[in-house]
Amino acid sequence: MPLRALLYRRSSEPQAIEIVFDKSVYLVRLRRHRQARRYTLRIQAATRDVILTIPPRGTLKEARDFAQKHGGWIAARLHRLPEAVPFAHGIVVPLWGLPHRIAHRHSARGTVWTEADSGGAQLLCVAGEAPHIDRRIGDFLRREARRELEAASHRFAAVLGVGVRRVAVRDQASRWGSCSTTGVLSFSWRLILAPGFVLDYLAAHEVAHLVEMNHSARFWRLVQRLCPDHERAKVWLGVHGSDLHRYGA
């Protein structure tokens, strides 16, 4: 086996370790990266995972000691994350940035739909058995996100005279959107929870990458042409974006 392969091979290394801080146990996921120069910790807000990156020559003991040393930081960062909100009867979730209360209509026909109550409040209604509420709401939001993102992407692509090969909708933890060199645009379904101008900005951003696969001045001029309100959307995401990851957890 080549020396380089031996250097990075850790066949018996666990995928995660546990540390204890202030009588609480925290799971820390391990990732060895050959380009890392030091041990680093980060919190993935969407999944609430604690991830420790290990450099090539790092050891499991050093990794454990590093994580334990930063137990207070881990606890504090996790504590500051917004509380997870499941899709359940009575829970208020944003749709297009507007609050909608989930209303379980057990005996109603259909799946998920929106309506207003007698006082004008917006409802997100779901039919069927209670155990299926979370899945049905999640499926509905993903379908809505795909429909709106496909429409926005093709609309912006027509302005620039480019083609979109496909629009994919996922639960992306680290980015709101991406563009491949083959013309596939990928987005987080959680954009359907944000105001419409935010979704439009992300669609415009990724479509602009079909012309400029960078963030040059020319790229931002294309974004400005497609979405003059993009600065407002960027500010909104900076302030409220992380909060969107707590829904449906």
Range(s) within the chain of domains with CATH label 3.30.2010.10: 92-246
Model pLDDT, residue 223: 97
pLDDT in tens, 96-137: 999 999 999 988 888 999 999 999 999 999 999 999 999 999
DSSP 96-157: TTEEEEEEEETT-SSSEEEEE-TTS-EEEEEES-GGGHHHHHHHHHHHHHHHHHHHHHHHHH
Q: What is the reported pTM?
A: 0.76
Cα separation, 49 vs 207, in Å, equals: 31
Q: What is the chain's Cα-based Rg?
A: 22
DSSP state of 85: B
pLDDT in tens, 44-61: 876 788 999 999 999 999
Close Cβ partners of 214 (under 8 Å, ≥ 6 residues apart): none
Q: Taking the mean position of all CA atoms in its chain, how far away is CA 40?
A: 21
Domain spanning 92-246: which superfamily?
Answer: Metalloproteases ("zincins"), catalytic domain (3.30.2010.10)
pLDDT band at residue 10, thresholds of 50, 70 and 90? low
Of the candidates 80, 76, 74, 56, the one whose C-alpha atom is nearest the C-alpha of residue 17 is 74
Model pLDDT, residue 142: 96
> Do 204 and 230 meet the contact criterion of CB atoms below 8 Å apart?
yes
